[in-house]
Structures are given as structure tokens and as C-alpha cells.
A and B are shown apart, each in its own frame.
Chain A
């Protein structure tokens, strides 16, 4: 849960400018980046986890740099899980935002500018509020998807209780140990949680067109 919250927050901070650039920018590297962002959708999570595990190892560039800066080992840490989850859930956040930004008419921003709104003012008072439904959707998808992830975490988390143990892996452990009662509690909890969050999301999304006709 803590992992999902931190991940979602980071995803929104990183994903929003990235989605804007993908939706509005016109530089050459755009399709390459767009493809990279979408990769976690099609790759088996274990493939991603395998490469991340190698990248996080103390002898790797990233791993040793991290160790120099923070003084801690990156692999099998909570930070490693966060980084992995951010990459893994990135498309679920970026794609709804990208679609929302693409639909935002340039004329609306031009109008805001002629009304005296500076670029920063346009971001805070026009772009973000006008896309708020998509931002909520993106955050919810990112959050639920991170809670449900398994493969990547299994590969790099190390399943250290209190440190890197997450819900879905705890469930796996319980099943392995034939502790079906506890497994039921976790699995049922996850089902209820996913249902409730998706239900709230869809009801919200479904309400707006209904309101429109009233």
C-alpha cells in the first residue's frame, strides 16, 4: 500500500510532463520514447524484473552510483521497488493523460494567453483543471495496477517482510505454505479493493455524460 501510494505520486509528477511532451511536442525522438513507455504493457513482468535486477546490482553503474550517493544498497530495497513499479505502471498513467492533453484544443490555451494568463498560470488554471477527470483516472489506474503487480516485484524485491514484502507476493507465500485461510483473506481483500476502486472510477466517468444531458 505504501509502495503504491509513493509510486502513484511519483508517476503523476513524472508522467504529467512526459504525457504533455508526447501529446504536444514535435521532436524526432517522440515515437521512440512513446514506444519505450508502452513496452511494459506487452513485456512479461519477469523480463522487466530481470533487467532491473541486473541494473540495480551493486556492481552495475546505476547500483554503484546509488550506493555512492545514498550510502545504501539499491537492490532488494524499498527504493528499488518504487523505481521498478514506476517503470512498470508508467503506461497506465501516461496514456490516459496523453489522450487528455491531445484533446485539449490549442485555441483554448491561446484564449487563456490573450486573457492575460502566463504559461504557468495556464498550467495551473486551465490545463490541469480541464484534464482533472483524466488525472484521476490515471492516478487510480496507476495505483491499482501497482497494488496488483507480481512478477517484477518477485524478481527484484526479495520479499523481505516489513521492507519489500507486498500484498500479491505475501499471497503467493501463503498458498505455497498451504495457509488457505490467510490466502483467502488477502485474495478476497484484493478483489474487493480492485472492485471498489474501479467501480468508483467508472461511476465517476459514467456520470459526466449523464449530467451533460440533464
Chain B
């Protein structure tokens, strides 16, 4: 599958959006940025739901979606779109909504209704009217409906924004399963870093109608000159290989180069690669390895860079096995330990979250 090539300008009143770049045709690309930065506008413009300027160019899979001569209408772009609200058709049942998509499928091949219903657990809902569903259920139907139209690429615009916590977690798990089952590329817009880091391996960071940075999620989340690493809820994303399970302790041992990273028991065969997330708040540093600590994960690391957050707080970028880790420390600690770039330290990691099973 080829990439989505974009050169796009758009004006809406006072707001200007400009985007030049390539969106990967494989895997999931997360688009993140503060509210009002143009994430939704970008997605709608790509789908042809908002007009962009005449000079704009968009092409995907050797088909021009938008060129100076012509703009392909939305219904011919073969895009699946999941909106913030489900926007189900009220005059049709759940089954009818799914059928609507199947009747107009963009491609002959794609997942069957049976598969999609199973992935999104819609079995008991098929005969219901759409107003009888909870918001979480409605959104699951909307995702199923988008998948059954067999799109070339799937756009998701903050699909979990209006949901309560349990519905969000449920759908996030469903989406992760879809990523494993399907090979279609996804573009996932959100302002929630938690959702993005669970789903996306590529990132586009937006600010005020511009792209601030784009690249692999593991690199951009830990880059100190970008807003993500400076956020109070900053996380680092690392890739680690499963070494072995320790069922007697309820733990699994991952390897990070020559070091071990202990996590709660997970699925998978030894050798499989897992993505883990480590919050900057959960990392503290010491100069000598403590031998009386209760922490399981104490790893040697090298300081690459330090940055001030405010008067009292600092964030430190560390390297472990050619991967990046963040630690959020007080300025007092930094001074007391005389931390500086190049210094070898030990990182005590309080908790590690598995992003994929």
C-alpha cells in the first residue's frame, strides 16, 4: 500500500491550515495537538468534506483525490470515517446501518459482517433501534459500519471523546484487536496522549494549523523541544523483546538489550516484541545502584539532555539500549546529584505499562 501524499492549504474565516507531508500507508498514524489546532479540519479536508484551496494536492495509492483540476467527491475517495459522534442513521436499525455500508462497499474484499460484529461485540444489538443504544454502543456500531464499507484507509476523529472511562477502555481494546486483524492504514486524531500511545506507531504533532513534527512515536514523545515530553503526563515509549514468563511471580521478563525489564504477566511467545510505556513521573534517578530497593526495574542509563519545565521542575532525557526514556525531577534533586548530559546514572522505574499484548 502506498502512502498518502498531501500538500494542502485551507482557509476558514480567521483559521488557516497548511500541511505538507507524507502520511504512512501502513500502520496507525496518530495526529495530536491542543483543541482548535486544526486536527479535525485536516481530517475532513483529506476526506473531501471541506473544500481546500485550488493549489492543494492529495493522492493516495496512485489515485489523485485532489488536484488543481479536479477534486474527487467524498463518496469516491474510499475513505472510512469515524466521527466524534456516531452519526448513525436513525431510520435504520443497527443491522440496517451495517447493511447500508455493505451495499455501497468501496472494495469487494474486506472483513465480513460476521467478523466485524464479533470484533466489536455487536451480536446482541443487531435488531435494536439506534436510539436505544448507549453512546459507547453507538460508537462501536459506527466503527463497524465504517469497516464494512471496506475502505482503503480509515480516519478516526476523536472517536472516544464523548465516552465514559469504561466504554473508552472497551473500544480501545477493540481497536487494538482490529489493528492486529486488519492491514488497512489508520489516521487517528486525538488530544489524549494515552489513546495515541496505545494505538499509533507514527505521530503527527500539530499546533495552530501547522505540523510541528512528524515521525516515529517512540522518538517524538521523548524529544525535549516538543510539547509532549514537557507535559505533566509525559511518557516514553520503548520496544522490548519478551524473554520469558515467570508465572510463579505473575510476571514476565522482557529484555531491553542486555538488561531485563519486568512487567506484569503478559501474553505472547518468547522473542515477540512488545511496546511499553513508562511515565516520566514514575522514573527517579540515583548515582549508585541501590541494593535495598523494592523496585524491580533499576536500569543503568546515560543522560542525554536536560530541560527546564518551570522554576522547580526539570525533565531529563535518558538513553537505555539506544532507546529514549524520560524522567521528571525537581530542580533540587538535579542540583544535589549534579546531573548533567553524558553522566551515567541508574533509573528506578516504578511502573511499566504494556501497550500491546
Contact = CB atoms under 8 A, between A and B. Distances in A.
B153 to A, nearest CB: 11
Given A125-B100, A130-B90, A130-B91, A115 B83 contact: no
Max chain A Cβ within 10 angstroms of own Cβ: one of B48, B75, B76, B92: B75
A107 B48 CA distance: 13
B106 A116 contact: yes
Mostly, the A contact residues are: helix
A113 B85 contact: no
A105 B74 CA distance: 17
A130 B88 CA distance: 11
Contacts of B77: 114
A105 B85 contact: yes
Contacts of B209: none
Nearest to A125: B100
A114 B47 contact: yes
B81 A130 contact: no
Interface string A88-124: 0000000000000000010110111111111001000
Given A118-B75, A125-B100, A212-B131, A113 B89 contact: no
Contact of A126 (B85, B89, B142): B89
A118 B74 CA distance: 8
Given A116-B105, A116-B106, A117-B104, A110 B146 contact: no
A116 B87 contact: no
A107 B43 CA distance: 13
A115 B131 contact: no
B87 A111 contact: yes
A184 interface: no
Contact of A116 (B47, B89, B92, B149): B149
Given A125-B100, A212-B131, A113 B87 contact: no
Contact of B74 (A107, A114, A121, A130): A114
Given A130-B91, A212-B131, A113 B75 contact: yes
Interface string A114-158: 111110010001100110100000000000000000000000000
A107 B90 contact: no
A115 B75 CA distance: 7
B80 interface: yes
Interface in B27-63: 44, 47-49
A180 to B, nearest CB: 49
B329 interface: no
Interface in A43-77: none
A108 B44 CA distance: 14
Given A107-B85, A110-B81, A110-B83, A115 B91 contact: no
Contacts of A125: 100
Contact of A115 (B73, B90, B149): B149
A114 B91 CA distance: 18
B101 interface: yes
Interface in B95-115: 100-101, 104-106
B79 interface: yes
B87 A115 contact: no
B104 A115 contact: yes
Interface string B126-147: 0000011000000000100110
B87 A108 contact: yes
Contact of A110 (B87, B101, B151): B87
Given A108-B87, A116-B78, 19 more contacts: A105-B87, A107-B85, A110-B44, A110-B81, A110-B83, A111-B83, A111-B145, A113-B74, A114-B77, A115-B101, A116-B75, A116-B104, A116-B106, A117-B75, A117-B100, A129-B89, A129-B91, A132-B91, A212-B131
Interface of B: 44, 47-49, 73-81, 83, 85, 87-92, 100-101, 104-106, 131-132, 142, 145-146, 149, 151, 155
A-B pairs with lowest CB-CB distance, top 3: A116-B104, A114-B81, A113-B74
Interface of A: 105, 107-108, 110-118, 121, 125-126, 129-130, 132, 212
18 contacts: A107-B87, A108-B87, A108-B88, A111-B142, A112-B89, A113-B49, A114-B75, A114-B79, A114-B80, A114-B81, A114-B149, A114-B155, A115-B100, A116-B75, A121-B104, A126-B89, A129-B89, A130-B91
